[in-house]
Chains A and B, each alone.
Chain A
Amino acid sequence: MTENLNVFAVRTLTQKEYFAPGHRSCQGCAEALAVRLVAKALGRNVIIANATGCMEIVSSPLPYTSWRVPWFHVAFENTAAVASGIESALKVLMRKGRIPRKKIVTLAMAGDGGTADIGLQALSGALERGHNFLYICTDNEAYMNTGIQRSSSTPFGAATTTSPAGRVQMGQITWKKNMPAIAAAHNIPYVATACPSYPIDLVQKVKKAADIEGPAYLHILSVCPTGWRSAPELSIKLGRLAVETGVFPLYEVERGQYRLNIDFQKLKPIKEYFKLQGRFRHLTDDMIKEIEKRIHKEYEELRAKAGKGV
């Protein structure tokens, strides 16, 4: 993979900011970076439905807004349904000649809680109905906005305020819900994972997803220094390590075909990723080994699906 070239290629992106600076996200928030890149990739012809969560709160304190594109927040669990309404309205209003015909992307955006937990039903419904929209889950692996409570997207072993590392329980005791697989199971045309540490890959996927007719799902790992107990300046590095250790592989599922965007013959030790995050601090070497085994198994399964397996 042309990892180093991407560092320069990012400068080819538009200078325009549709998610304006001055919002209130934490230092080192990779989610804000992801959203900024998504907005750049989509340009001005977009309508965003945003679930309740960090991105909503940091960008829209009445009477201010960080959005230079049409943006709509309704509630937490219904973003996909709201997007269904927006997409349907655009379709019928253009058909009836009440607004001019042009391509407008309907984007639904939610965090991991708003996607994998409370918003899963609305998302599943919208994917099944086949609305022409793009759904982006910015996954920071817990309910960060309310104070770092565990979600079904929190990785095994991570300490959160509701899956604390105690004397008898070592943080989260369930495995991260595989949202991209759930989205892909709806047989939608496009599913992909991305991470803002790989900005060009992310932007390309957003553009591809927006161009595809029908529902598309993009799952973006978004490093959260506040919730992960990591140094803000390490967010990009952590995103890379998540990919390089196999914790968060970058792949696409295009009309059912899996493709690994970056494949590693040898994954980095997961400990390199864990040791930079306070949420994994309590884990023993043995536990890390156990987690690593499962991560490697899942990575191999993914490679097999992508036609690279044994």
Chain B
Amino acid sequence: MGKRIGMEVSIAAAEAVKQANVDVISAYPITPQTHIVEHLSELVANGELDAEFFCVESEHSALSACVGAAATGARTFTCTSSQGLALMSEITYIASGLRLPMVMIIANRTLSSPLSIWNDHSDVMSIRDCGWIQFFVENGQEVYDHVFVAYRLAENRNVLFPVIINMDGFILSHVIEPFELIEQEKIDQFLPPYQPIYRLHPDRPVTMGAFALPSIFAETKKAQEEALRSSMSKILETWEFFGDMTGRYYHPIETYQAEDADTLLVTMGSYSETASVAVDKMREEGRSVGLVRIRLWRPFPFEAFKKATQHAKQLVVIDRAISVGACGPVGSEVKAALYGEAQRPSVFNFVAGISGRDVTPSDFIKMVDKAEIEIEEGNKEGYEIYGVRG
């Protein structure tokens, strides 16, 4: 068991990148991701991490450089937020299509406009379909742990996908939490140096990034899609190994007081902890409410989600992003997941906490109140942006 120490989440994330013995780091500063790259710069400057660290002139170049380094066989890391992610979005699709393992932490932040530095999930939802494995973590320990999980997974020869770790900007990135750090020997065992199947090297020349005509494009895309779907078993396996090493077992869907609950809150990211406080309060009042938290966003854990929600009468799905002109992206995903079920719960979709607005336990209770009344009155597929004036 490692020792528990207090640390800012961004610093712990950078420490994890160091412990993962990353070879190449390329990044561009953007609030609220900055503390991660600042600390990594220090680690390299102090000789604590032997890596090529370079500050590029844009996020587009940051990810492009990572793609070049990963293709050459290096373990690579970058991190970004918001507008930075939007700028690198072109390359996110390419990194996945090329099946290049790498890890990116996103300190999730609102996409402009209006410009806002605060947290929501609109940045990563803009690249939802880019083909990376995507985690949403709840607390700092999960960020730290998932750096190792992500590299081991990404570099697994049956996976070979880039991985995004989503952590809420400021709410997680700038908060000091207690951490249980893992001994280096254990990490080295869990995460041996990356051995690519193919790398750019003159001894064994390969062409990477060839273009595809319509006669072959669909086949390559299908192969990518099937590979991402089937990475699910490796994700579970990697979490299992990690749990055996640390005692911290992770699952694609986490539940809290959910087994017998009529109403389930469905959340993603850091306010899941707040929601669990709200669940406790409602349980004290004798209400049948539980929590389902989505940790794995891509590939979406359809089976696990259906299993977790099969006995509920209603789901109150809370999104931290808006698909403008439709509803919340998690809301629509959940509805799609349940559509084929003979007995499916009603789904009320709220958007709450966009651009860093606080969502308190009492807000969760109010949302459950409202959803239960609306559903009772027959509005079984409701959608509302919660707590907004005007």
The chain A residues found within 8 Å of chain B, CB to CB, are 44-47, 49, 56-57, 60-65, 67-75, 77-78, 80-86, 88-93, 95-96, 98-99, 104, 121-122, 124-126, 128-129
| Residue in B64, B201, B202 whose CB lies within 8 Å of A85 | B64
What residues of chain A lie closer than 8 Å to B56, measured between beta carbons? 81, 84, 125, 129
Residue pair B26, A60 in contact (C-beta under 8 Å): no
Residue pair B72, A86 in contact (C-beta under 8 Å): yes
Do A63 and B210 contact each other (CB < 8 Å), given the known contacts A89-B23, A122-B60, A125-B58? yes
- Check: B382 CB closer than 8 A to any chain A CB: no
In angstroms, Cα B198 to Cα A75, docked, is 20
| Residue in B61, B200, B201, B202 whose CB lies within 8 Å of A78 | B61
What residues of chain A lie closer than 8 Å to B60, measured between beta carbons? 77-78, 81, 122
Chain A residue with minimal CB distance to B207? A65
What residues of chain A lie closer than 8 Å to B202, measured between beta carbons? 44-47, 69-70, 104
Q: Per DSSP, are chain B's interface residues mostly helix, strand or loop, or mixed?
A: mixed
- Check: B301 CB closer than 8 A to any chain A CB: no
Residue pair A62, B212 in contact (C-beta under 8 Å): yes
- Check: B82 CB closer than 8 A to any chain A CB: no
- Check: B91 CB closer than 8 A to any chain A CB: yes
In angstroms, Cα B98 to Cα A80, docked, is 18
In angstroms, Cα B237 to Cα A92, docked, is 31
Chain B residue with minimal CB distance to A18? B205
| Residue in B61, B73, B211, B212 whose CB lies within 8 Å of A93 | B73
A277 CB to closest chain B CB (Å) equals 29
Residue pair A89, B26 in contact (C-beta under 8 Å): no
- The 16 listed contacts between A and B (C-beta, < 8 Å) are A57-B211, A60-B209, A65-B210, A70-B205, A70-B207, A78-B60, A78-B91, A81-B26, A82-B68, A85-B74, A88-B52, A89-B24, A89-B74, A90-B72, A121-B58, A129-B56
In angstroms, Cα B152 to Cα A154, docked, is 48
Do A73 and B57 contact each other (CB < 8 Å), given the known contacts A84-B68, A89-B23? no
Residue pair A124, B57 in contact (C-beta under 8 Å): yes
- Check: B342 CB closer than 8 A to any chain A CB: no
What residues of chain A lie closer than 8 Å to B72, measured between beta carbons? 47, 85-86, 89-90, 93
In angstroms, Cα B202 to Cα A44, docked, is 6
Chain A residue with minimal CB distance to B204? A70
Chain B residue with minimal CB distance to A102? B202
Chain A residue with minimal CB distance to B21? A96
In angstroms, Cα B208 to Cα A288, docked, is 45
Q: Classify chain B: how many residues form its interface, as a range.
A: 35 or more
| Residue in B52, B64, B193, B216 whose CB lies within 8 Å of A63 | B216
Residue pair B58, A74 in contact (C-beta under 8 Å): no
Do A95 and B69 contact each other (CB < 8 Å), given the known contacts A71-B207, A78-B91? no
What residues of chain A lie closer than 8 Å to B220, measured between beta carbons? 62
Residue pair B91, A86 in contact (C-beta under 8 Å): no
| Residue in A44, A60, A89 whose CB lies within 8 Å of B68 | A89
Interface centre among B58, B74, B220 (most CB of A within 10 A): B74
- Check: B213 CB closer than 8 A to any chain A CB: yes
Give 1 or 0 for each of B57-99: 1 = CB within 8 Å of chain A CB: 1101110111111111110100000000000001100100010
Give 10 closest A-B pairs by Cβ, nearest first: A85-B68, A125-B57, A73-B209, A81-B61, A89-B72, A85-B65, A78-B64, A89-B74, A81-B64, A85-B69
What residues of chain A lie closer than 8 Å to B205, measured between beta carbons? 44, 67-71
Chain B residue with minimal CB distance to A95? B50
B201 CB to closest chain A CB (Å) equals 6
What residues of chain A lie closer than 8 Å to B24, measured between beta carbons? 85, 88-89, 92
- Check: B249 CB closer than 8 A to any chain A CB: no
Residue pair B213, A62 in contact (C-beta under 8 Å): yes
A281 CB to closest chain B CB (Å) equals 33
A227 CB to closest chain B CB (Å) equals 20
- Check: B103 CB closer than 8 A to any chain A CB: no
| Residue in B23, B94, B200 whose CB lies within 8 Å of A75 | B94
In angstroms, Cα B72 to Cα A88, docked, is 9
